[in-house]
Amino acid sequence: MENGVVFVIWLVCGVISAAIASSKGRSAVGWFFGGVFLGLIGIIIIACLSNLNEERNRRNYVDWQQRRTQEQIYQEQVKNQAFQQYTASRLDQHDQQLGLNTRPANQNLTYGDGGNQNYLPGQGQADTQAAAWHVIDSNNQRLGPLSIQQITSLINEQRLTRSSLTWSQLKNAWCPISEVQELAGLFPNQGTIPRRQM
């Protein structure tokens, strides 16, 4: 009779431990046996342990907030870059009419990421003014603003694919290059064999 009562108590301790463990995102099976063998001590231990579900949700929320903040900062940087380009182009038009050159020769309007400017070599004043696209290449680097010619060069270098993300002032959102009519046609047709140069 006493053995039956002890067995029932151990079983109840195991069930309680398993229920608490499950609510905290821990192994219900493992803590069932822990409750059976440890009894009330097992219940106390699992009750004192941290809730893994809450910790996981907290980490996910913090990560989401960080990604959202970074994206908002980048969007603001892109908008500021577009405004700088517009302002520079207007100043260049005034300089051309007045026969002056008030812009330094080495000034390039490029987007900097973390202090490192990402732009293509040879990107001059005229090319920068015409650039409007920002992309994320195969190395997960954000490049821009870029012109159609520069994006074509990146495609030829296989640094961009149809699934690479791009952003422009017109779209005002990130999307795959394959969904952008102006850029999707820059990729060579699949199935065509490149001709060898003699």
Mean pLDDT of all residues in 154-176 = 82
26: nearest Cα among 47, 3, 4 = 47
Count structural domains, the chain: 2
Q: If you ran DSSP here, which 8-state letter would residue 195 be given?
A: P
Q: What is the pLDDT of residue 130?
A: 47
Residues 41 and 123 in one domain: no
Look at residue 104 in the predicted model and tell me its pLDDT: 52
What is the SS3 assignment for 136?
A: strand
Are residues 79 and 39 part of one domain?
Answer: no
Q: Is residue 37 one of the residues assigned to a domain?
A: yes
- Report the distance separating Cα 165 and Cα 74, nearest Å: 14
Backbone angles phi, psi at 189, to 5 degrees: -65, 135
Contact yes or no for 50/24 (Cβ under 8 A): yes
The answer as to whether 60 is a domain residue is: no
pLDDT tens per residue, range 44-90: 888 898 888 888 888 888 888 888 888 888 888 888 778 877 777 77
Kindly indicate the confidence band of residue 101, based on its pLDDT and cuts at 50, 70 and 90.
Answer: low
Predicted confidence band at 175 (pLDDT cuts at 50, 70, 90)?
confident
Residues 84 and 180 in one domain: yes
Dist CA 84 CA 125 (whole Å): 13
| Residue 42 sits in the same domain as residue 83 | no
Question: What pLDDT, on the 0 to 100 scale, is given for residue 112?
Answer: 40
Quick check: is 82 in a domain? yes
Domain region containing 141: 75-184
Percent of the chain predicted with pLDDT > 90: 1
Kindly state whether residues 37 and 82 are assigned to the same domain.
Answer: no
Query: What gap in Å lies between CA 30 and CA 27, rounded to an integer?
Result: 5
Q: How far is CA 29 from CA 18, 49, 163, in A?
A: 6, 16, 43
The verdict on 45 and 133 lying in the same domain is no
Q: Output 115 or 20, whichever has higher pLDDT.
A: 20
141 with 98, same domain: the answer is: yes
Residues 93 and 159 in one domain: yes
- CA gap 56, 140 in Å, rounded: 27
Sequence letter at residue 32:
F
Which residue pairs, CB below 8 angstroms and at least 24 apart, start in 7-15?
9/39, 10/35, 10/36, 10/37, 10/39, 11/36, 13/38, 13/39, 13/40, 13/42, 13/43, 14/42
pLDDT at 197 exceeding the cut of 50: no
Tell me if 19 is assigned to some domain.
Answer: yes
Contact between 147 and 130 (Cβ < 8 Å): yes
95 inside domain: yes
Question: Which is more confident, 94 or 134?
Answer: 134
For residue 55, being part of any structural domain is answered with: no
Residue 14 in contact with residue 32, Cβ under 8 Å? yes
Model confidence at 106, pLDDT cuts 50, 70, 90, reads very low
Does one domain contain both 45 and 80?
no
3-state helix, strand, coil in the chain (%, to 5): 55, 10, 35
Residues 172 and 137 in one domain: yes
Asked if the structure places residue 65 within a domain, the reply is no
Residue 198 belongs to some domain of the structure: no
Window from 15-29, 86-100, 101-115, 136-150 with minimum mean pLDDT = 101-115
List the beta strands (DSSP E) in 40-122. Answer: 111-113, 116-118
pLDDT band at 168 (very low <50, low <70, confident <90, very high): low
Indicate whether this model's pTM tops 0.75.
no
